[in-house]
């Protein structure tokens, strides 16, 4: 495994596209199909609309999410965005395993 952290580092690229508090959660929300902005805000009530707009805009600019241009836009994962879903599964597994380990060995 390459451990360099140059500008060409795949981990750095991934963190630049998916890093932050909300992007991975947004991808998780969109995993089961397109959603309107109002539907997303209901699933993430703790995030402000301004931040949510910025995060969605970043995901659209990264070609991970597609936004329809109709009257009520719908956000959905692109094929590139769908490529992040196995990563989410692995992160969820790590989180579950970590929480279980902490509970066993506080």
Residue 30 lies in a domain: yes
What CATH code is carried by the domain that includes residue 69? 1.10.10.10
pLDDT the model gives residue 14: 85
Residue 90 lies in a domain: yes
Residue 79 lies in a domain: yes
Residue 92 lies in a domain: yes
User: Can you tell me whether residue 57 is helix, strand or coil?
Assistant: helix
Domain count, the chain: 1
Residue 72 lies in a domain: yes
* Range of the structural domain that residue 31 is part of: 20-104
pLDDT the model gives residue 15: 84
- pTM of the full structure: 0.84
Residue 13 lies in a domain: no
Residue 26 lies in a domain: yes
- The tens place of each residue's pLDDT in the chain, 106 residues long, gives 555 566 778 888 888 888 888 999 999 999 999 999 999 999 999 999 999 999 999 999 999 999 998 888 999 999 999 999 999 999 999 999 999 999 988 6
Whole-number Å distance between alpha carbons of 76 and 53: 14
Whole-number Å distance between alpha carbons of 39 and 15: 26
Residue 8 lies in a domain: no
């Amino acid at each position: 495994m390459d451990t360099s952290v140059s500008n060409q580092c795949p981990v750095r690229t991934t963190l630049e596209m998916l890093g932050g508090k909300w992007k991975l959660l947004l991808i998780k929300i969109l995993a089961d199909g397109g959603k309107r902005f109002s539907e997303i805000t209901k699933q993430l009530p703790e995030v402000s609309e301004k931040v949510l707009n910025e995060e969605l805009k970043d995901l659209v600019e990264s070609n991970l999410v597609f936004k329809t241009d109709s009257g009520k836009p719908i956000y959905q994962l692109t094929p590139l965005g769908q490529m992040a879903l196995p990563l989410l599964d692995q992160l969820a597994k790590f989180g579950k395993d970590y929480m279980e380990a902490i509970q066993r060995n506080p």
